């Protein structure tokens, strides 16, 4: 069974630009969760998508958004990038109330 | 919202010794408690989890215990090996059909000395 995949591995942007990160869940999983892992910090919940809809979001500003496609893959968009957005962005997939399995992450660097 | 605290932040043990990492949570409605292991530069890997209807769960050298009354849960690793060296994260959530958003502790860096 293929695991969760994410692309790109690394992304370098400048302040004010937009970043798009992608996630493909494990086959059969309908939920995608996005988390931010800033350097030296734990993981912070960002967004949850299930069955094509945004179901919940964490304590992040609206410039963090995304969507989920009919094949359950997901995209995270970060607009008006700020220096403090530099972090590892992890997605995890699962089935609603069950275990979550993480992808390898996208390292976003904002210069 | 939920708040999870994790201790210690760093833990150094000798190979073969046991390691214990403790977490406390604030939301009494939380019912799902996973533990993840993250090696340097790699993804968090689910190593064990427990739901609120059980008090203890074991899987070979690792075990998790849960005290719902005190709102704390712990990870126990016995006979530690150098490959156990990693950062361990605990998490808690209200797992139901409305989702399973995890709130993580701050992590414990475990170093196992050969």
Mean pLDDT of B4-24: 97
A5-56 pLDDT, tens digit per residue, is 999 999 999 999 999 999 999 999 999 999 999 987 789 999 999 999 999 9
Of the pLDDT bands very low, low, confident and very high (cuts 50, 70, 90), residue B96 is: confident
Rounded CA-CA distance B89/B35 in Å is 6
Option in A42, A96, A104 nearest B104 (CB) = A42
Residue B17 Cα, gap to closest chain A Cα (Å): 26
Option in A96, A99, A103 nearest B43 (CB) = A103
Output the CA angle B39-B43-B47, nearest 5 degrees. 75
Rounded CA-CA distance B80/B112 in Å is 7
Q: Give chain A positions within 8 Å (CB) of B21.
A: none
B72-94 pLDDT, tens digit per residue, is 999 999 999 999 999 999 999 98
Are B104 and A56 a contacting pair at CB < 8 A?
Answer: no
Q: What percent of chain A has pLDDT over 70?
A: 98
Peptide bond into B8 cis (omega under 30): yes
On the question of pLDDT at A97 being above 80, the answer is no
Minimum mean pLDDT range among A1-10, A90-99, A102-111, B99-108:
A90-99
- Please check whether residue B44 touches A, CB under 8 A: yes
Mean pLDDT of B48-52: 92
Peptide bond into B90 cis (omega under 30): no
CA distances from A106 to B11, B31, B63 (A): 28, 30, 31
pLDDT of residue A1: 61
What average pLDDT is seen over chain B?
Answer: 94
Rounded CA-CA distance A32/A15 in Å is 27
Are B95 and A97 a contacting pair at CB < 8 A?
Answer: yes
């Amino acid at each position: 069974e293929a695991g969760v995949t994410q692309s790109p591995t690394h992304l370098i942007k400048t302040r004010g630009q937009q970043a798009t990160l992608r996630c493909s869940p494990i086959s059969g999983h309908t939920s995608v969760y996005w988390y931010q892992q800033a350097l030296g910090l734990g993981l912070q919940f960002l967004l949850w998508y299930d069955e094509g809809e945004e179901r919940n979001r964490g304590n992040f500003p609206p410039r963090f958004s995304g969507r989920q496609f009919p094949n359950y893959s997901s995209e995270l968009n970060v607009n008006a990038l700020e220096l403090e957005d530099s972090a590892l962005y992890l997605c995890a997939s699962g089935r609603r109330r069950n275990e979550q399995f993480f992808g390898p992450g996208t390292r976003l660097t904002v210069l | 919202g939920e708040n999870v605290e994790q201790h210690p932040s760093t833990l150094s043990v000798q190979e073969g010794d046991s390691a214990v990492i403790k977490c406390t949570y604030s939301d009494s409605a939380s019912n799902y408690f996973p533990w993840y292991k993250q090696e340097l530069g790699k993804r968090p890997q689910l190593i064990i989890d427990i739901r609120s209807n059980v008090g203890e769960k074991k899987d070979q050298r690792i075990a998790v215990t849960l005290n719902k009354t005190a709102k704390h849960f712990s990870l126990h690793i016995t006979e530690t090996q150098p490959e156990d060296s990693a950062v361990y994260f605990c998490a808690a959530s209200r797992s139901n059909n409305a989702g399973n958003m995890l709130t993580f502790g701050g992590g414990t860096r475990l170093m196992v000395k050969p």
